[in-house]
Amino acid sequence: MTTAGDMMHRGAQWIPAHETLDRAAQLMRDLGVGALPIADAEERLCGILTDRDIVVECVAMGHDPSRVTAGDLAQGTPRWVDSGADVSEVLQEMQGHQIRRLPVIEDKRLVGMISEADLAGHLSDEQIAAWVESVYATH
């Protein structure tokens, strides 16, 4: 059985909720990623910040990214999956919430992220097609 731990990209890093968006953008650049999980003061997942969020919710709105924090953009209930979850649970979580990146948690700690590229290496063509159709659907 393939698990989330098998599929994920290891080495994901949190961004603290108090960190500014300009620093978040620099960290994304340095890590070569387009999204960062946001951690609260107790290092619990409180959201995910994407490069698109920074552009659309901050820069395009005329806000200064050196004054807006990652926590300011953390909205809703963050979605995640346990490292032991099987492929069907990963797909259900991503498809059911139309998300493209999923943090992987083990013992209450971030251990990785699952992205579209990670899925492509572990799913059949039929599974990928169904995932794309559900995640990119405009309802």
pLDDT digits (tens, 9 = 90+) for 89-132: 999 999 888 888 999 999 888 999 998 888 888 888 888 888 88
Q: How far is Cα 90 from Cα 96, in angstroms, rounded to an integer?
A: 10
Strands 9-10 and 109-114: antiparallel
Q: Which domain range does residue 70 map to?
A: 4-135
Q: How far is Cα 45 from Cα 116, in angstroms, rounded to an integer?
A: 20
Of 66, 7, 6, 12, residue with least CA distance to 38: 12
Amino acid residing at 39: A
**Four-CA torsion 121, 102, 136, 98, nearest 10 degrees:** 140
**What pTM value is reported for the model?**
0.83
Q: What is the CATH number of the domain that holds 59?
A: 3.10.580.10
Number of domains in the chain: 1
